[in-house]
Amino acid sequence: MKQLLLIAFLGYVLHGFAQSETEAPTYQLLWEVTGKKLKKPSYLFGSMHSNDARLFQFPDSLYTAFAKADAVVLETDVAALFDEYDVRLDLFDLEILSRNKPYTNSREATRTVYGSEDGRPQFLDAYFQQTGYCAGKQFFALEALEDQLTASEKIQGISTKEAISSFFFSKETFVQTYLQGDIATLSKMLKSQLDGIPGAYDALITKRNVVMANGLDTLMRKRSVFCAIGSGHLHGNEGVIQLLRSKGYTLRPVIASYAPETTTDEALVNSWRKYEVVSDTFNFSIALSGKPLVFSSEDNYRFIYQELGQGNTYELIVRKTEETLGESKAGFIDNQRQRPRTITLENGLEAVEGMYLDEWKGPQWRRVIIKGDLTYILICYGGNKFMHSDRPQKYFNKLVLN
């Protein structure tokens, strides 16, 4: 978890992007890549590893670039985090069910590695990956997750909080710089902050820029891509833009403009928000907002999907069993304030649902359904606001049994 946090702090310091409604001719976050006999342009975008809602007020040209691309490319496969990390930071000291509350007495937003519950469900990079999956686009990663974690070892001498709080520039300074699309100043700020950590800039930026440029060179020869990497990787003689130019590509910044009405490409991209998970073997379908990780064998099935920005997790476990619905109640919290309840679903099947205390993952909302020799266990848990909301119930109700 510590390594994940240290990787994330590079995006955190630029957290807080706000958009202008007028043209921004100096905007240099989105670049068109042509030349070298490419059949279609590709696009390079300077991202931030944050779920701040203001980051998602994209210029019209970004929607067009994303819609045109055949594939989405990120630094790494962020969906690989789904089964590896809990991105929630400040889980409350849970006085479960105290004072007749179903979870905690607090309604504060939980902070996460990528922001908080007050931001978007996914952080920016994960949004592009999942939207691409919903659109049926290919996905490619420029690095393995393990490579990023190895790079982070260069800054293991300081804690995550020290890394974040050591930045001398105010948040507003970064906001305004990112707003202007001024990647040169962003790069200088980043380098200034990393200068105090020997070897960090070389390990986290320079060496990885070479890997990213080489990977893009290979990918763009075969297809049009929309590539989102941290904005700190773009600028300078050793930045990805210059490295691609040295390979023979032509890169130009795409002007940011904002139409007063929703454009056709914006509407198209915003329509890509559902991913259908179907299993003929285990007789179910369910609609999610993105592609889950799936683990399946002849007798068992499991998927896990996370909203990494807000820290919410959705799981489905299917297994062959002779267990009865009554026996499935054993693990649920059952006391004077919270009891599992038996309900009848629209398809006529009975289900048990309520709160479950998992030894490793903490309090969860669960629903258990038995049909034939298969038991379906729907699980979800997340931030403080999520656990108080109706979103678990909405998730449970999406499961369709065949």
Between residues 246 and 47, the one the model is more confident about: 246
Cα–Cα distance between 289 and 217 in angstroms, integer? 31
Burial 275-311 (b: 16+ CB within 10 A, else e): bebebeebebebebbbbbbeeeeeeebbbbbbbbbbb
DSSP-assigned beta bridge partners for residue 400: 285
CB atoms within 10 A of CB 270: 11
pLDDT of amino acid 147: 73
pLDDT digits (tens, 9 = 90+) for 150-167: 666 555 554 444 443 334
pLDDT digits (tens, 9 = 90+) for 342-376: 999 999 999 999 999 888 888 899 999 999 999 99
Categorize the per-residue pLDDT at 315 as very low, low, confident or very high, splitting at 50, 70 and 90.
very high
pLDDT of amino acid 193: 77
Please tell me whether the overall predicted TM-score, pTM, comes out greater than 0.85 for this model: yes
Closest CA to 45 of 25, 66, 60: 66
- Do 382 and 311 meet the contact criterion of CB atoms below 8 Å apart? yes
pLDDT of amino acid 102: 52
13, two tokens:
């310091």
Categorize the per-residue pLDDT at 316 as very low, low, confident or very high, splitting at 50, 70 and 90.
very high
84, two tokens:
């590896």
Helix (H, G, I), strand (E, B) or coil at 110: coil
Side by side, the strands of the sheet bearing 71-74 are 138-141, 71-74, 225-230, 42-47, 30-34, 250-253
Cα–Cα distance between 297 and 197 in angstroms, integer? 46
Cα–Cα distance between 295 and 304 in angstroms, integer? 9
pLDDT at 280 over 80: yes
pLDDT of amino acid 61: 96
- Which residues are within 8 A (CB) of 313 and not within 5 positions of it... i.e. 6 or more apart? 82, 86, 304, 305, 306, 307, 361, 379, 380, 381, 382
pLDDT of amino acid 12: 44
pLDDT of amino acid 246: 97
400 backbone dihedrals φ, ψ, rounded to 5°: -115, 125
At position 86, the amino acid (one-letter code) is D
Closest CA to 228 of 92, 374, 399, 42: 42
Give the mean pLDDT of 24-52: 88
Least confident of 16-25, 61-70, 166-175, 295-304: 16-25
pLDDT of amino acid 211: 96
Domains and CATH numbers, the chain: 2-76+142-269 (no CATH), 273-401 (3.40.1000.10)
Angle (CA) 132-134-139 rounded to 5° is 35
How many H-runs (helices) and E-runs (strands) does the chain carry? 13, 18
CA distances from 145 to 7, 141, 213, 216, 366 (A): 10, 9, 17, 17, 30
- Helix 207-220 with 145-152: angle, nearest 10 deg: 160
